[in-house]
Amino acid sequence: MTESPSAPVGFIGLGNMGAPMARRLLDWSGGLVVCDVRTEATLPFTEAGASRAADPAALAARARLISVTVIDDAQVIDVVTGPAGILNTAGPGTVIAVHSTISDRTAENLAAVCADRGVEFVDAPVSGGAAAATRGGLAVMVGGSDAALELVRGPFGRFSDLIVHAGPVGAGTRMKLARNLLHFVAFTAATEAQCLAEAAGLSITDLGKVVRHSDAVTGGPGSIMLRDTTAPIPSGDFWLPILTHVRNLGEKDLSLALALGERLDLPLPLAELALTRLADGLGVGRPLLDKEPS
């Protein structure tokens, strides 16, 4: 298959994420075919010129590049292999791109089933939320072949401004899981910070304003994710003094926060864990840096 701007694109799943992504494809020169179990979800698209398919199989009979944005593994499996699934009608060379966050094993298993039918499967989860989808600013993490990546670049470029080829099928999902691990651990840390602020008689709303303001400047946790490895940093490496400085500041501030929590009789288990793991996580653990020369 040679994908071109004249080929129709299909989009299955028009929920909170799928709808703004699909809207960015309404003016795709090859046309847009949409499908959702809720007929009312397709109406804004058909009114704007898109075509509607009754089910994934009907959509696959008309589109050769198909984006899927449904809720979970079970729905993805049904959309691809179910009684009215894509593989019932998909011709050889069809590309199925799943944007849902699913298990990497599910992605690999579906890729094998699709390959038996001459269909290319890509796991392509996204990051950035509905607001980024609306303005075309999503990040897409692609797991699939080099050839498949080139086929999806055009449509994906409508709703994203960062496309990362993570590796073979499954790698896109693994990258999304690592990204969301950071997201929700950070959310849990935010709840602990709020508890500390509240116990100290502070406004947690004002704290939130400070966090959003400073993270917009510093980049937040992503600002330290610049190295090629998590191994200990060797002497003479460019990053050694930078991340040593981060470690020193972090350990000082975590210790002060823990002391405040102790005075307020407030346990801070994540802060305690961070204090023990920060140095090694940054690659500048004290056994490496601070041992006396022999």
pLDDT, tens digit (0-9, with 9 covering 90-100), for 156-199 = 999 999 999 999 999 999 999 999 999 999 999 999 999 999 99
pTM of the model: 0.88
Domains of the chain: 9-174 (3.40.50.720), 226-289 (1.10.1040.10)
Residues belonging to the active site: 176
Looking at every residue in the chain, the average pLDDT score rounds to 93
pLDDT value for 4: 55
> Do strands 32-35 and 138-143 pair parallel, antiparallel, or not at all (unpaired)?
unpaired
Please report which confidence band the pLDDT of residue 129 belongs to, taking 50, 70 and 90 as the band edges. Answer: very high
DSSP E strands in 149-277: the ranges are 160-167
pLDDT value for 281: 93
Would you say residue 3 has pLDDT above 90? no
SS3 of 135, please? helix
Would you say residue 282 has pLDDT above 60? yes
**Cβ(141)–Cβ(125) under 8 Å?**
yes
Instruction: Give the contacts of 105 (CB within 8 A, at least 6 positions apart).
Output: 170
Would you say residue 230 has pLDDT above 50? yes
